[in-house]
Amino acid sequence: MLKIVVALGGNALGNTPQEQLELVRQTAKPIVDLVAAGHQVVLAHGNGPQVGMINLAMQYAAEAGANTPEMPFPECGAMSQGYIGYHLQNALREELVRRGLRKPVAAISTQVIVSEEDQAFQTPTKPIGSFYSEDRAKRLELDKGWSMVEDAGRGWRRVVPSPKPLDIVEKESIMKLVEANHLVIAVGGGGIPVVKDGEKLLGVAAVIDKDFASAKLAELIDADYLIILTAVDKVAINFGKSDEKWLDELDLNMTHQYICEGHFAPGSMLPKIQAAIQFASSKPGRKTLITSLERAIDGIEGRTGTLIKA
């Protein structure tokens, strides 16, 4: 039996609650395949489209004079954890029951500690929310202290930092549930980013990469495997070129070499590879598998995927 953290992308969950409700029923099947094979599973997920939708809706309501307060970004992240977790735990429970598997499912609202000293706070990069004219963007910078950037000719958008995760506040609760044979959903959207202020935890307007948060979670609960799910069955070098090569297995040295050679796109595969390295190098014997959702069980059994290990 393996202890596995599975990192599911937010885009795999659709763009509306109705679409998500349908998609999670399909998502549940390969996750439950891992459970049926006897493994302990913790599911992490992204929330990019979902938290953007919530942030945009709350912003519009506040600006329209609907007597709705503007919602801080950490609270929007918490809202997305709640409704994605609700959909996932119901879909997983339904699939477990359908197969005659008795396993409780629990979604944990998860806070992830970051450092105020993280350099990401000096250079925000993650776009969120509405598109604005340049004049409106400049006013928002003055009035609200937002960082605004021009986004590919489509207008100006707010950007927030993407700091690295240092610790997970609810890690003991997650570990206890795993030990009690629960299927746990945690660090949704990379977790709610918080900084320490004495005995307090304060939410900050930031986005933690869900793959890095998943790697940190896998490390803290002493998982054997981190599975990072993506749109392809394997990682490739020279992707999309005539000499494209799909990779079955990588050691850490070769992985670093391919990073230095620029094979992995910064906004796409690179953070997955970096998170894979982070977990695989954290303790002897730990492995990261990068593959597609539908092939997760095949990957664990060695039939597909890219395996990264020390």
Residue type, 8: L
**Separation of alpha carbons 310 and 298, rounded Å:** 21
Task: Please tell me the predicted confidence (pLDDT) of residue 50.
Answer: 87
Percent of the chain with pLDDT over 70: 99
Task: Please tell me the predicted confidence (pLDDT) of residue 204.
Answer: 96
Q: Say if residue 11's pLDDT is above 80.
A: no
What average pLDDT does range 3-24 have in this prediction?
A: 86
Task: Select which of 3, 29, 103, 126 is catalytic.
Answer: 126
Task: Select which of 216, 234, 272, 287 is catalytic.
Answer: 272
Task: Select which of 9, 10, 46, 85 is catalytic.
Answer: 10
What average pLDDT does range 183-212 have in this prediction?
A: 96
Q: Say if residue 1's pLDDT is above 80.
A: yes
11 given a catalytic annotation: yes
Task: Please tell me the predicted confidence (pLDDT) of residue 13.
Answer: 83
287 given a catalytic annotation: no
Q: Say if residue 65's pLDDT is above 90.
A: no
Token representation of residue 173: 């609760």
**Separation of alpha carbons 153 and 11, rounded Å:** 23
The CA–CA distances, whole Å, from 125 to 121, 158, 206, 215, 247 equal: 9, 9, 10, 21, 30
* Average pLDDT value for the chain: 92
In 3-state terms, what secondary structure has residue 199?
Answer: coil
Task: Please tell me the predicted confidence (pLDDT) of residue 305.
Answer: 95
Phi and psi (nearest 5°) for 230? -145, -170
Token representation of residue 172: 């003991």
Task: Select which of 11, 138, 176, 262 is catalytic.
Answer: 11
pLDDT tens per residue, range 81-134 = 999 999 999 999 999 999 999 999 999 999 999 999 999 999 998 888 778 899
Q: Say if residue 14's pLDDT is above 90.
A: no
pLDDT tens per residue, range 259-277 = 999 999 887 899 999 999 9
C-alpha torsion angle, residues 252, 42, 1, 302 (rounded to 10): -50
Task: Select which of 9, 48, 55, 210 is catalytic.
Answer: 210
**Separation of alpha carbons 63 and 139, rounded Å:** 14
- Bridge partners (DSSP) of residue 125 are none
**Separation of alpha carbons 95 and 78, rounded Å:** 26
Q: Say if residue 69's pLDDT is above 90.
A: no
210 given a catalytic annotation: yes
> In the Cβ-directed half-sphere of 169, how many Cα atoms lie within 13 Å?
19
In 3-state terms, what secondary structure has residue 65?
Answer: coil
